[in-house]
Structure 1
Amino acid sequence: MSQTTTMIPAQSSQSANPHHLADKTLIIFDWDGTLMDSIGLIVEAMHIAGEAHGFKTTDKAVKDIIGLSLMKGIELLYPYSSDKQKLLIQQSYADYYIANSQRTPFFAPIENMLQTLQRQNRQLAVATGKKRKGLDRVLDASDSHHYFVMTRCADEAGSKPDPQMLTDILQYTEQQISDAVFIGDSIYDIQMANSLGMTSIAVNYGTASSDELAAQQPTYQVNTPQALAQLLCA
């Protein structure tokens, strides 16, 4: 796949010019499928969990709920399950994911990118559909707490595309919307940024297809982690 950056016309008055990103002092990332190569394990764990309690779904259906909170995703995938079954699926998913979480590294160029952005005195943050317990676990395992001035999770601020995670991060860092850019791989990520008029970068290597992401009109769109690093660090 090409490592070029695909420009998407901005909905706002901001120009889709890579040099514009040099002015961004706050860079907010989604986690799964954006920084961490975890989509395969998420899909696998959801199949294992659903089938353990008598429910089946498709890879595409699971990918389509990634970015939402886990319980919201389960409700969408298995609408005919009882409340008790949903809780059991949630627990089975968590058990399997945790037991296999060593299989979810950062995408190859991501850690160097984070280090470069820190050297450029950018503030880095995370807004994720994970629960706090789950995010802290992977931050510990990847030894990456120190990169981020703030992290926000779905059980603290509502599931995407609710923008509360982003507004909480803005308030904590004392930054304006115009100072920030949000990067994600799902349609919910881009919808969340768009709801605030925040500059966004959609990455095509995660959950949603290039066409699905383009339909949400992100400010920028990139095909690979390498292209993301080139765009942000230029």
Structure 2
Amino acid sequence: MRVDQKRINFDWLGYQLYLFDLDDTLLMTRAAIRASWRKTLQHPMLTGKGVDEWIETLRGFTLLYGTTADQEYWQAFAVEATGELLKPHPLGEELCRINRENYWQVLQPAPCIPNVLQRLREEKRQLAIITNGLIELQTQKLTKVGLADYFQDHVYCSNQYAWAHQKPSPHMLNQVLKKCDNRPEETVFFGNASIDVLAGNMAGVTTVAVAEFNNPRELRLLTADYHLSEWPAEI
């Protein structure tokens, strides 16, 4: 276990309610996206550029459409790659299908997370997910990697609420505190981004920045109580 040297007194079993962001906190989401892109972009119809160049082209379209709008950005990518303005573009449909298959094959929990969650459950702690995104997609991810049983009815997802209530709003955290009948001082929230820490701070809970997966520029914005560089093998 490696925790910020200035804050080495984190008590792993010192809370009653444990809240987790999902993508790049519990799951290696960005790593899975990159790995699936790399595999998909080796398609034999993609010529004239190397895989790394195609990745940069695709990345530009994901910035425009968002990473969840995969049908749209693969369609735009196919038009750019072939110069053929087809609607729908058959190559775009094929690449989207292949990439989805690749993504689900490579998506994994962060190292040691199953051990951490299992120990917390054995100690009768309450667990919940606080995530921005689509509830159907986020619960599918949990199921695919074998973590869904740890959270059951405690997955709080931003598309279930008004737009203004997504993180960094503390609304979802306040909802789970109320539902689980816990006080902020009994609660800890783990997240990999500044919006997680801000939401936790505004809810009054202890915050842990999972810094290994963090954007270094965001680290300067964080005022987390603890910084965690990797999940411990055991707690």
Q: Is TM > 0.5 for Structure 1 vs Structure 2? A: yes
**1:92-148: per-residue Cα shift (whole Å, max 9, x none)?**
469566432221111221101100011111101101123101012112212322211
In structure 2, the residue corresponding to 1:39 is in which secondary structure?
helix
**Code of the aligned partner of 1:179:** E
Decide which of 209, 216, 220 is 2:226's aligned counterpart: 220
Contact 1:127 1:153 in 2 (8 A): yes
Cα distance, 1:45 vs structure 2: 7.7
Distance 1:170 1:153 in 2: 15
Which residue is 1:160 aligned to? 167
**Code of the aligned partner of 1:4:** R
Contact 2:32 2:107 in 1 (8 A): yes
Contact 1:184 1:190 in 2 (8 A): yes
**Code of the aligned partner of 2:32:** L
User: What does 1:1-234 correspond to in 2, within 5 Å?
Assistant: 3-6=1-4, 17-19=9-11, 21-42=12-33, 57=60, 77-78=63-64, 89=69, 91-92=71-72, 98-99=100-101, 100-149=103-152, 150-157=154-161, 158-209=165-216, 212-226=218-232, 233=235
Distance 1:179 1:203 in 2: 19
**Code of the aligned partner of 1:6:** D
Which residue is 1:64 aligned to? none
Q: Which runs of 5+ in 2 are unaligned?
A: 41-53, 75-95
**Code of the aligned partner of 2:225:** T
Contact 2:58 2:73 in 1 (8 A): no
Distance 2:191 2:73 in 1: 23
Contact 1:7 1:220 in 2 (8 A): no
In structure 2, the residue corresponding to 1:57 is in which secondary structure?
helix
In structure 1, the residue corresponding to 2:4 is in which secondary structure?
strand
Contact 1:45 1:93 in 2 (8 A): no
TM-score by length of 2: 0.69
Cα distance, 1:212 vs structure 2: 2.7
CA separation of 1:6/1:188 partners in 2, compared to 1, >3 Å: closer, same or farther? same
Cα distance, 1:215 vs structure 2: 3.1
CA separation of 1:42/1:214 partners in 2, compared to 1, >3 Å: closer, same or farther? same
Cα distance, 1:203 vs structure 2: 0.8
Distance 1:192 1:46 in 2: 31
Larger radius of gyration, structure 1 or 2? 2
Which residue is 1:69 aligned to? none
Which residue is 1:71 aligned to? none
Distance 1:8 1:155 in 2: 37
Contact 1:160 1:189 in 2 (8 A): yes
CA separation of 1:93/1:45 partners in 2, compared to 1, >3 Å: closer, same or farther? farther
**Code of the aligned partner of 1:132:** I
**Code of the aligned partner of 1:193:** G
Cα distance, 1:40 vs structure 2: 2.5
Q: Which runs of 5+ in 1 are unaligned?
A: 10-15, 59-73, 79-84
Distance 1:112 1:218 in 2: 24
**Code of the aligned partner of 2:24:** G
CA separation of 1:43/1:116 partners in 2, compared to 1, >3 Å: closer, same or farther? same
Larger relative CO (CA 8 A, sep 6+): 1 or 2?
1
**1:127-174: per-residue Cα shift (whole Å, max 9, x none)?**
112310101211221232221151111101332111111111111111
In structure 2, the residue corresponding to 1:102 is in which secondary structure?
helix
Q: How many residues align?
A: 193
